[in-house]
Structure 1
Amino acid sequence: MVDPLLVVGVLVSMFVAYNIGGSTTGPAFGPAVGADAISKTAAAALMGVFFFVGAWTIGRNVVTKLGTELVTDPAVFTLESSIAVLFFIGVALLVGNVFGVPASTSMTAVGAIAGLAFAGGVLDMAVMGEIVTWWIVSPIIGFWVSLIVGRYFYARLNRLVAMERSEGPLLDVDRSGLVPSVSVHRTTNRRELVGTVTVVAIGCLMAFSSGTSNIANAVAPLVGSDALAMDPAIILGGVAVTIGAFTIARRTLETMGSDITELPLTAAIVVATVSSALVVFLSALGIPASFVIIATVSIIGLGWGRATRPVTVPEAVSAEETPPVTVDALAADEPGEELPPIGEEDSEDIPEPGDLFNPATTARVVLMQNVVPAIATLGAYLTFRFVPVFGF
């Protein structure tokens, strides 16, 4: 007979995964859908496939880290405590959604599990220190890589992937034979084809990176409690993410529900590539990474790199005032525009201070990125420390 408590645990876990699918499909495939490269249905299907591939391959490293290595005694993960941890993850993410800020599911999950482990006196401080260290280092890496790309390579990339849609479909499908064949439509130009393939490929990379890191946020507590084995847990999580991608993600795809997709297409591709690569790298190490935070810092680095093109490196470093970082700085180069050498551009091209990223919005994002995990951590700790039913 199936334990009703296990059914509740699986349902809560799948609910968390469902929301992950809904919240991450937009940032991953928003640029592709917005550029009419693929449909919402195709985006949801690709999200489900590549998320599952990432979860099945690299993602189990993060599940193991959170489910067994973050605690010195995995016995702390009873079925009851696992359900409670997932509950706090869901509630904390709901707070972020209410305030319109994309919260870090990885930081929230780590916070909830750390709260449980600390209350039970079984938190592995060495593992926790390793995770926090990478949380600090990875955004710094993302910032500098994006800054270099923005300063030296952005204009060239912008010319390469600019989406100049021609009339008619991108591809022709011939269904006259037994097996349908696909060919490039006669009006499709090379730049359009390269741009379309690039933006769809980046979406697939983001979906893969989401699977490598986020699957643990939904299933690690149940795997740690031995209530579910690794493989069925990943399958259930992947199914729930796919359902979320086909349902609630449609709205985020319409509105491009993330700051990254409001950027020019080239900037979105750069930020997504840098952030996804870092997330996959950290997931291979078993570190749960925050895509949102890395992407936010990468946007700033990319904009700073573009804004400092009119000055040389020594001038930029020694300047009394930091050149302003703006969205316009990312969109300054039109396709085909020839740029003068770095340091020889007209200083008037530097965006005005009024075009800066909104400081209030930036502060709100940074604040909530810390508040949401703190809510999960504190809530879990107080519950497991002072509620007698958990026996700590």
Structure 2
Amino acid sequence: MTTTVLSPLLGVGLVVAVFVGYNIGGATTGPAFGPAVGANVISKVLAAALMSFFFFLGAVTIGPQVVETLGGDGQLLQNADVFTMRANVAVLFFIGGALFVGNYAGVPASTSMTAVGAISALGFATGELNWAELGSIASWWIVAPILGFWVSGVIGRYFYPRLNAWIAIEGSEDELLIRFERDGLLPRVRFRGGGDRREAFGAVVVVAIGCLMAFSSGTSNVANAIAPIYGTGEVGMYPLILLGSAAVTVGCFTIARRTLDTLGNDITNLPLTAAIIVAVVSSTIVIVLSSLGVPASFVVIATMSIIGLGWGRATRTTSISEAARGEETRVSVGALTAEEEGEAVPEIGEEEPTDIPRASDLFDPATTARVIIMQNVVPLISTVGAYLTFRWIPVFGF
């Protein structure tokens, strides 16, 4: 009778993978459920529970396809045998370290781009990189954010006021809009004040979108924590998914409380309706790409969706007649305020040209540039650091 002994390096690799999953849970819960918690629709505990469940659901259904792309034989790496335990620990170290740099800079970085960079560096250093697969992934990384920008831009220009009128939630500091009462055998859902139909609809939409974001995060992000270990062949796919999802759950119930307090650094600082639009567009794109086995970056797609939505809302108040005359584009702050308050909004080109700043006042171009730059610098740190390590440090045996 033989006994399987956990090797020290495998143990270290699993610990680092858990740490990566823990941080994924902490970083993604805020963007997913920040709008719902910020509007006092649900509690932080319920947000963490929903995030954990739907992340696992995405990880166990579509997630394996992305894990195969990053850690499977003949995928991103032509020969997964280069995933030795030493290389595995190093790859996870560079993924976690680079993401820490992004978090320290206050910029949400792409875990998918960072992970692909570190794994690609391993393949390049060993001559096992599948350039065709990497090119396919990189192509989607270019197309997806552009698609998110234009879809959100069209929504912002033509449909935002109507959507904003449908989704209306009056925040309350005293009482949750949705709560569970345990006065019977099974908990029952209760809405604040008996449940105004319009407000209840908005609440359900906000929570449903959070669940969609959690699901999309699971489809793509679980691979970033477990793919290197899966590539070694020492642990099966589904035990690793369970381990990664458990680590994400711990992060959801602990460090995610801070991101929920601040509503995150990216889409959750938008008006509620705008946050929902960005979440729907970004999550849908991520889910589609994950189903194709492409590790997608929700953060980058969401960032470009935010920019597109702001651009669309700005240009909707441009006077068509003035544009035809070649005059300077102007944006009505009053119209934008009316949208947020649910008031009647004039048709495009019919706004009063009073108190009208430039479109750039709707979002800060300098901040936008800083975010985009850092979102590319963080994966670059992971890629370059990993390549130099695998190429020049003999201990890895390559």
Query: What percent identity do the matched residue pairs reach?
Result: 63
Quote the Cα distance in structure 1 between the aligned partners of 2:132 and 2:179: 56
1:56 is matched with: 60
Task: Check if 1:275 corresponds to 2:279.
Answer: no
- Taking only aligned residues, the RMSD between alpha carbons, in angstroms, comes to 2.4
Instruction: Specify which of 116, 126, 129 is matched with residue 122 of structure 2.
Output: 116
Q: 1:206 to 1:177 in 2, by over 3 A?
A: closer
The Cα shift of 1:350 comes to 4.8
Long gaps (5+) in structure 1:
none
SS in 2 for 1:140: helix
Kindly tell me: are residues 29 and 318 of structure 1, through their superposed partners in 2, closer, same or farther at Cα, counting changes over 3 Å? farther
Partner of 1:308: 315
Q: Does 1:28 align with 2:63?
A: no
- Determine the C-alpha separation between the residues in 2 that align with 1:317 and 1:256: 41
Change (3 A) 1:354 1:209: closer
In 2, the alpha carbon distance for the partners of 1:41 and 1:271 equals: 24
Kept after mapping to 2: 8 A contact 1:310/1:350: no
Q: 1:18 to 1:266 in 2, by over 3 A?
A: same
Instruction: Say whether the 8 Å CA contact 1:164–1:191 is kept in structure 2.
Output: no
Q: 1:94 aligned to 2:111?
A: no
Q: Which residue of 1 aligns with 2:198?
A: 191
Per the normalisation by structure 1, the TM-score is 0.93
State the AA in 1 paired with 2:237. M
User: CA contact under 8 A between 1:163 and 1:195: conserved in structure 2?
Assistant: yes
Cross-structure match for 2:378:
372
After superposition, the Cα gap between the structure-2 partners of 1:172 and 1:363, relative to the gap in structure 1 and judged at 3 Å, is closer
Cα shift at 1:332: 4.8
**1:234 corresponds to which letter in structure 2?**
I
Structure 1 residue aligned with 2:45: 41
1:74–1:312 Cα change, 3 Å:
farther
CA contact (8 A) 2:289 2:295 kept: yes
* Residues 22 and 245, structure 1, Cα contact 8 Å, conserved in 2: yes
Please say if residues 324 and 351 of structure 1, whose CA atoms lie closer than 8 Å, have aligned partners that are also in contact.
Answer: yes
Q: How many residues align?
A: 391
Query: Are 1:246 and 2:250 counterparts?
Result: no
Counterpart-to-counterpart distance in 2, 1:146 and 1:165: 25
Q: What's the counterpart of residue 144 of structure 2?
A: 138
- Confirm or deny: 8 A CA contact 2:321 2:349 kept in the other structure: no
Provide the residue aligned with 2:228 in structure 1.
221
Tell whether the 8 Å contact from 2:318 to 2:331 is kept in structure 1 after alignment.
Answer: no
For residues 224 and 317 of structure 1, the distance between their equivalents in structure 2, rounded to whole angstroms, comes to: 59
Matched, 1:126 2:132: yes
User: Which of 269, 292, 295 lines up with 1:285 in the alignment?
Assistant: 292
Which residue in the other structure is 2:238 paired with?
231
1:173: how far off? Answer: 5.6
Which secondary structure does the structure 2 equivalent of 1:223 belong to?
helix
Q: CA deviation at 1:388?
A: 0.9
Q: Do structure 1's residue 341 and structure 2's residue 341 form an aligned pair?
A: no
Deviations 1:195-226 (A, max 9, x none): 11111111111111000010010000011111
Q: 1: distance between equivalents of 2:77 and 2:7?
A: 25
